[in-house]
């Protein structure tokens, strides 16, 4: 299903490639400054870095929610820079928001079936909800509205991304709002998905437990790619603080 393009040599190696991505606010403040990176196929990539560093913005650029001012994005060798979120979703990119959206009138089952693009059998829904630590019977017919807690809605959104089962799944701080007890289960879900799914998981996270299971860690800071490499290489530097955060960044060093 890989598209043919001028970067055919990348196929099977680098699934996603960003070249010199820039994005600024209307007032001219640069949020992403010349970010270039390559993401391989079938890996678990964790993007981390201080609050406000540009991680969510970068994820939105990849998903097609915002367009870079300059730079190019290639997916499976195809230039997708001009493609919108729907076109990118069709190509196999899915995105779970840091702050999930609620869908009044839709039930959890509707949402999962929409994500999967087909009707789901009871056991499939059960498995998906089970993976994110929700008991199927309590949730399957619940409306995805304000009555769901922040943690519940976040888990449901993670389940929709798992249901989509795309080549690139982006999760923005999946741990946010999820209690400590369920968090260990969530880490196991990502480990399991990583082994089973034929695709790449890109997780934005500040959590050491998630950083530990990464095949590769990318550090984004002040809108730039600060560091990247294996978890073995990067994690000790983050833990020892050798990247010396500014005092105002310290709250982000979870």
Ligand X SMILES: Nc1ncnc2c1ncn2[C@@H]1O[C@H](COP(=O)(O)OP(=O)(O)OP(=O)(O)O)[C@@H](O)[C@H]1O
- Residues found near Mg ion in the complex (CB under 5 A): 55-56, 98
Please, what is the minimum distance in Å from the beta carbon of residue 56 to ligand X? 3
Contact residue for ligand X among 1, 25, 146, 180 (CB under 6 A): 25
Region label for 40, one of left (φ > 0), alpha (ψ between -120 and 50) or beta (otherwise)? beta
Please, what is the minimum distance in Å from the beta carbon of residue 117 to ligand X? 29
* Residues 96, 171 contacting (CB under 8 angstroms): yes
Per CB under 6 A, 53 contacts ligand X: yes
Which stretches of 49-207 are assigned E, i.e. beta strand?
70-75, 78-79, 93-96, 103-107, 143-144, 168-172, 200-204
Site string for ligand X, 32-51 (x = CB under 6 A): -------------------x
Give the C-alpha separation, 188 to 213, whole Å: 10
Closest CB to ligand X among 182 and 224? Answer: 224
Closest CB to ligand X among 65 and 120? Answer: 65
Please choose which of ligand X, Mg ion, none residue 221 contacts, taking the beta carbon within 5 to 8 angstroms, the exact cut-off set by kind: none
* Residues 179, 191 contacting (CB under 8 angstroms): no
Give the C-alpha separation, 105 to 111, whole Å: 10
Closest CB to ligand X among 133 and 223? Answer: 223
Per CB under 6 A, 31 contacts ligand X: yes
Show contacts with ligand X in window 170-199 (CB under 6 A). Answer: none
Please, what is the minimum distance in Å from the beta carbon of residue 105 to ligand X? 28
Closest CB to ligand X among 31 and 45? Answer: 31
Helix (H) or strand (E) holding 60: helix 55-63
Give the C-alpha separation, 251 to 254, whole Å: 7
Please, what is the minimum distance in Å from the beta carbon of residue 53 to ligand X? 4
Sign of the torsion formed by the C-alpha atoms of 67, 52, 172 and 35: positive
Please, what is the minimum distance in Å from the beta carbon of residue 51 to ligand X? 3
The count of other CB atoms within 10 Å of the CB of residue 149 is 10
Q: Where do contacts with ligand X occur on this chain (CB under 6 A)?
A: 25, 31, 51-57, 98
């Amino acid at each position: 299903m890989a598209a043919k393009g001028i970067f055919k040599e990348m196929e099977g190696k680098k699934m996603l490639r960003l070249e010199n991505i820039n994005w600024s606010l209307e007032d001219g403040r640069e949020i992403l400054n010349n970010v270039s990176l390559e993401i391989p196929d079938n890996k678990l990539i964790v993007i981390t870095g201080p609050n406000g560093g540009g991680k969510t913005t970068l994820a939105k650029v990849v998903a097609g929610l915002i367009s870079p001012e300059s730079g190019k994005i290639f997916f499976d060798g195809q230039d997708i820079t001009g493609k919108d979120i729907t076109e990118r979703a069709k190509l196999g990119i899915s995105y779970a928001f840091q702050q999930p959206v609620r869908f009044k009138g839709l039930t959890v089952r509707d949402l999962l079936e929409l994500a999967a693009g087909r009707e789901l059998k009871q056991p499939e829904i059960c498995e998906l909800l089970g993976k994110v630590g929700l008991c199927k019977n309590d949730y399957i017919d619940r409306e995805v509205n304000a009555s769901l807690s922040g943690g519940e809605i976040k888990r449901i959104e993670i389940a929709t991304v798992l249901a989509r089962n795309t080549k690139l799944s982006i999760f923005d701080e999946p741990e946010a709002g999820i209690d400590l007890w369920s968090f260990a289960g969530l880490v196991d879900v990502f480990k399991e998905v990583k082994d089973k799914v034929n695709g790449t998981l890109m997780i934005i996270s500040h959590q050491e437990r998630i950083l530990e299971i990464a095949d590769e860690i990318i550090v984004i800071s002040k809108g730039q790619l600060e560091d990247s490499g294996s978890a073995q290489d990067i994690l000790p530097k983050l833990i020892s603080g050798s990247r010396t955060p500014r005092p105002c960044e310290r709250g982000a060093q979870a």
